[in-house]
Amino acid sequence: MAYFEYCTEKDLRDEGVTIDEASPTRLRYLIRVASDRINRFTGQIFQPIVGDQYVDGQNSPLVYLPGYIPIIDLTAIQIVSERTARQRTSVLPDRREFTVALANVELSQDNRMIEWVTDYSTSGALPWWMGPTEYETWFPRGRKNVKLTGVFGWLEGDKALSTTTTSAATAGDAKVVVDDLTDWESHDWAIFTLTGGTVMQKISGVDSTTSSLLFADDGPSKLSFDVPSGTVVQSFGRTPMLIRRAATRLVIRDMPQLSSEGGQQDDIMQQAIVEERIDNYRYKIDADLISQRIESGSTGDAQVDSILQQFIDEIPTYIGMV
């Protein structure tokens, strides 16, 4: 998917946004803008990304995506030799490994890092009297030289569902009939494996009477592509509820700017503490300084900032050597 959409048109209509205030097309644009702002603020992605991701090897047993984006489902790892840096001459053993099997790695740090776990005999590497020990293996250093294939992103729900369509559906339909609805829920991301690759769309609910995954009945949230019978559909969860709420608030905050550029800034200033009294001492903060702070490191909404900071605080800190 080329764009990120963390809330839906229905979320905004439920908050009171009318057709006169914003059309479905306009709302979808604002949703994408708000979602991109959340990505940039947190350094994370809150919907599944399917396919290949290239990361840097660091002559270390660890590799990870930028920002420690979670790895949902890892299906393959490959070292791209032409992107790998040359090894300098050294008396130390060459610990780099150029063939990676999934059985030899594991996910750590809440599925944010990939780590070698293979045990090696020390024969030929260390003196024999030291006995067997774990011999550390490295991903070779290079620029984007480790290719990861799988599903990536920060979701909630912690599920791995798979079902198959039992009849064809076309773009514009409001449902897809499948053979198993077990554990599917509203707002889950449905990943369709089609002949030309994978595509995804958020479901609006399920209908057990027709064994169907449902999509919105109107607007651009209907099924946006053709789905043949026999298509495999997977889900690994949904965009976190708090992120959905943050995106909804950001869209609503952006709407006054359509008619008044000063509306949003005035609302932000009302949330800020501009004057404070302590005992017999009182001070007032220059409004220009508050404006500069708002523009430099905030979404403009104190509640949204608090929500996003909670997610940032969960991201592990790793200091390694290259």
Nearest to 137 by CA among 169, 97, 78, 87: 97
Query: Rg for the chain (alpha carbons), in Å?
Result: 25
Pull the structure tokens for residue 146. Answer: 């480790």
Whether residue 40 contacts residue 287, with contact meaning beta carbons closer than 8 Å, is answered with: no
- To which residue do tokens 């047993």 refer? 61
Nearest to 62 by CA among 266, 322, 297: 322
pLDDT for the residue 298: 75
Q: Where are the domains of the chain?
A: 1-48+239-315, 50-152, 157-236
pLDDT for the residue 117: 80
Pull the structure tokens for residue 43. Answer: 């350094």
Was domain 157-236 assigned CATH 2.40.30?
A: yes
pTM of the entire predicted model:
0.80
Contacts of 289 by beta carbon, 8 Å cutoff, 6+ apart:
none
Q: What CA–CA distance (Å, rounded) separates 9 from 27?
A: 7
Pull the structure tokens for residue 282. Answer: 């009182």
Q: What CA–CA distance (Å, rounded) separates 79 from 77?
A: 7
Where b means 16+ CB within 10 Å and e means fewer, 155-176 reads: bebebebebebeeebeeebbbb
Q: What CA–CA distance (Å, rounded) separates 18 from 20?
A: 5
Mean pLDDT per block of 10 residues along the chain (322 residues) reads: 85 91 91 94 95 91 92 94 72 70 89 80 48 64 93 93 96 94 95 92 93 76 89 96 96 70 50 60 57 60 91 78 44
Pull the structure tokens for residue 266. Answer: 């005035």
pLDDT for the residue 99: 82
Q: What CA–CA distance (Å, rounded) separates 90 from 25?
A: 60
Q: Which helix (H) or strand (E) holds 165?
A: none
Question: Would residue 16 be called left, alpha or beta, if left means φ above 0 and alpha means ψ between -120 and 50 degrees?
Answer: left
